[in-house]
Structure 1
Amino acid sequence: MVLVDFGLAGNRLLDSLPRQERAHLLTGCEAVDLVFGEVLAEPGGRISHVYFPLNSFISQIANLSDGDRLEVAMVGSEGMFGMPLILGVEESPLHALVQGAGPALRIPAAVFGRHLARSPALQTLLKRYFYVLMHQLSRMAVCTHFHQVEARLARWLLMTQDRAHSDQLHLTHEFLAMMLGVRRAGITLAAKALQKRRLIRYHRGDITVLDRAGLIEASCGCYASDRRIYRQVIIEGEAP
């Protein structure tokens, strides 16, 4: 097991814990490097570990019986993967896939459960994070149904940029179409529109965010809403 520094962890959720509680939880964690394309959980499969991404991110994808797939959540350094465990459920409802390679902290599910049982501060924080996830999932459903592809793509690029901690992204049209649940042609048109407005530069899967403020303006209000709820509930610790 790789030792972990007991100071600030580099994960915003962990760093919201009181120092002593954070240090206690980190004693059970190990530092790992997540690999692009690595599968962390399958639908119906057992959750073996909880992951706290640092400079990496995980897509949580719903698989339909006809083979279609849709990303319903993304977890980076603002959160954790393994939330069903706080409800006493060891089974993953979604496909968890590493989309952004990089470092993360990992703790075995059983060890995490023991820490959770002994830490009221951790219980409170994760209940609040669960509320944030519920908000994000509801916004995702509304966004997918009502908002135009160009605005949804802008939102998704912003979410990815936040978690990748970089203006440089590598995302093919095929992947974006799968993540947003639209046809590849729709992604092509939306990406061309954003590029024409000089918000992004796109070439063979390499995307550069040129104008973040403009991309925020081009996105739907769901992006700002997600950030507001996270800041209010997790960072500021206010009641939603």
Structure 2
Amino acid sequence: MPAANHLIERLPPHERGRLLALCEPVQLALGEVLCEAGATTGHVYFPTGGFISLVAPVDPHVGLEVGMVGREGMLGTPLLLGLAASPVRALVQGAGSSWRVEATAFLRELAASEGLRAPLLRYVYVLMAQMVSAAGCLHYHPIGQRLARWLLMSQDRADGDRLHVTHEFLAYMLGVRRVGITLAAGELQRRGLIRYHRGELSVLDRGGLEAAACGCYRSDRLAYRLNLE
């Protein structure tokens, strides 16, 4: 498997080689739960193809997506802050490949390498900015803009213009009723921005979808560019 994770690619060569020596390639299955909220982090993931939703639990049956991790980042950031437990549920949203390293081995390498710690801590800031943006987006922006933002974020991390999603899943991720997703997706489809049928969604007009999204999408991209590129 190629080391196509952007965080790993940007490490100094020596640190990159040491980290990859600890990693094993794994496949992320759609719908797989990699970590439950409150559970001890057993592994760190560096996606190279798939992508992961970070879901804040509201009650035993309801959650809300507050972040997304793809090949630009990593799952397991609490370990960088000296914490063992995750505050979110990590749910595979897009099947694909990833590097995986056992938490104890990762912590040993982290303690030994300043060259590893510095860029990963910058990523923690970018992820925090994404979560802050998600909180404001939930409160102030209409469903249609939020859905467009979510689709753009997913497409950025997917390997193409097609996504496998259901109305139920989108409603769960955005914290809204299913009927709200039906109306918002229908409007994006009428405008020729997407095609959606039986859980298969295709992005037809990327520029139009960006125009339909709230400014939070651009803020997320800017935070990444300023701190990690």
Q: TM-score, normalised by structure 2?
A: 0.97
Which residue does 2:105 correspond to in 1? 111
Which residue does 1:212 correspond to in 2? 206
* Structure 1: gaps spanning 5 or more residues: 236-240
Distance 2:220 2:36 in 1: 26
Distance 2:122 2:65 in 1: 22
Distance 1:65 1:38 in 2: 20
Distance 2:182 2:33 in 1: 27
Please, which of 134, 138, 146 is the counterpart of residue 140 of structure 1? Answer: 134
Which residue does 2:27 correspond to in 1? 33
Which residue does 1:52 correspond to in 2? 46
Code of the aligned partner of 2:195? R
Which residue does 1:238 correspond to in 2? none
Distance 1:170 1:27 in 2: 33
Distance 1:197 1:70 in 2: 27
Please, which of 170, 173, 176 is the counterpart of residue 176 of structure 1? Answer: 170
- Structure 1 residue 165: Cα displacement: 2.1
Matched, 1:191 2:152: no
RMSD: 1.1
Code of the aligned partner of 1:130? V
String of CA shifts for 1:175-226, please: whole Å, max 9, x gaps. 0001000111110110011011100001111100000011001100111111
Code of the aligned partner of 1:53? P
Code of the aligned partner of 1:184? R
Which residue does 1:78 correspond to in 2? 72
Cα distance 1:181–1:87, how it changes in 2: closer, same or farther (>3 A)?
same
Distance 2:130 2:67 in 1: 8
Farther off after superposition, 151-160 or 90-99: 90-99
Identical counterparts, % of pairs: 57
Code of the aligned partner of 2:153? M
Please, which of 106, 125, 128 is the counterpart of residue 122 of structure 2? Answer: 128
String of CA shifts for 1:125-158, please: whole Å, max 9, x gaps. 0111111111111100000000010010000000
String of CA shifts for 1:62-107, please: whole Å, max 9, x gaps. 1122622111111000000000001111111111111111110000
SS at match of 1:166: coil
Which residue does 2:145 correspond to in 1? 151
Which structure 1 residue ranges, 4+ long, deviate > 6 Å from structure 2? none
Distance 2:31 2:11 in 1: 30
Distance 1:118 1:66 in 2: 39
Number of equivalences: 229
